[in-house]
Structure 1
Amino acid sequence: MSDVITMLGNIRVLSCDVNGPRISTEADVNSLVGAAFSGRAGLVALPAARLGQNFFDLQTGFAGLLVQKFVNYQLRLAVLGDISAACARSRALRDFVYESNKGASCLFLNALEDLSQKLP
């Protein structure tokens, strides 16, 4: 399976394949944003398994870079999958996830099915 555009309500979603390339550099983020734009998506559903370890170590700044890039391009991001083990190891990550889920730009959810409940 590859990345596909789906509709969730009236929002075009780039649903990323769990087996796609790892996202661990700014160039990877740019490619992901480009794929969203080429598919005219307003939201990217990205499996947490595709994120490099540097995303979960907030000291690297990569999580902030990724989220800020999405905000700058007015794209929404949903990170899908169980990241509870990473959150258990890092209070900062747990707080980042909690605060992100209070907003609408970046959400951390267990599955794509949970996304429909979070969208307006």
Structure 2
Amino acid sequence: MTDQTRDIHGVRVLVFNAQGDKLVGERDANIFLSAIWEHEATLAVIPVSRLGDDFLDLRTRIAGEVIQKFVNYQVRLVILGDISAWTSTSKALRDFVYETNRGGSLWFVNDLPELDQKLSAAG
């Protein structure tokens, strides 16, 4: 399966395939950003399976560096999938997810229908 471009509530979205290069650090963000620009998308959906092992460990600062890069290039980011295994063991991550889901630059969603709902409400 390949990456898919969709228009959801007037937003051009690039949904990355569950398999492929991992988003391990800030440098890896360039691979994803290049694909986003190629597809003229403004919102990227990256499945949890594409995240490096330490991405959701906030102590590594990897997530913060990657997210900042997306923000700097004005690309909204969505992490797609169940992250309850991580949030159940980290209050800091649970709080981070809660706060970012209230904003507009980064969302954590379980599935594409949830993303559809969020974009509908934001539009």
Q: How many angstroms apart in 2 are the aligned matches of 1:32 and 1:72? A: 14
What is the match of residue 62 of structure 1? 62
Tell me how far apart the structure 1 counterparts of residues 72 and 81 of structure 2 sit (CA, whole Å).
Answer: 24
Query: Equivalences for 1:19-98 in 2 at 5 Å?
Result: 19-98=19-98
Q: Secondary structure at the match of 1:65?
A: helix
Using the TM superposition, give the Cα deviation of residue 20 of structure 1 relative to its aligned residue in structure 2, in angstroms: 1.7
Structure 1 gaps of 5+ residues are: none
Distance in 1 separating the partners of 2:61 and 2:34: 21
Q: Return the alpha-carbon distance in structure 2 between the equivalents of residues 19 and 26 of structure 1.
A: 19
Letter matched to residue 29 of structure 2: V
CA distance in 2, matches of 1:25, 1:107: 18
1 CA distance for matches of 2:28 and 2:70? 13
Q: Percent identity?
A: 47
RMSD: 0.9
Q: TM-score, normalised by structure 1?
A: 0.95
Q: TM-score, normalised by structure 2?
A: 0.93
Shift of 1:27: 2.0
**Offset of residue 19 of structure 1:** 1.0
Moved more, 93-102 or 21-30: 21-30
Aligned residues: 120
Runs of at least 4 residues off by over 4 Å: none
| Structure 1 CA distance for aligned equivalents of residues 106 and 90 of structure 2 | 19
Determine if the alignment matches structure 1 residue 102 to structure 2 residue 102. yes
Deviations 1:91-113 (A, max 9, x none): 11111101100101100000011
CA contact (8 A) 1:54 1:62 kept: yes
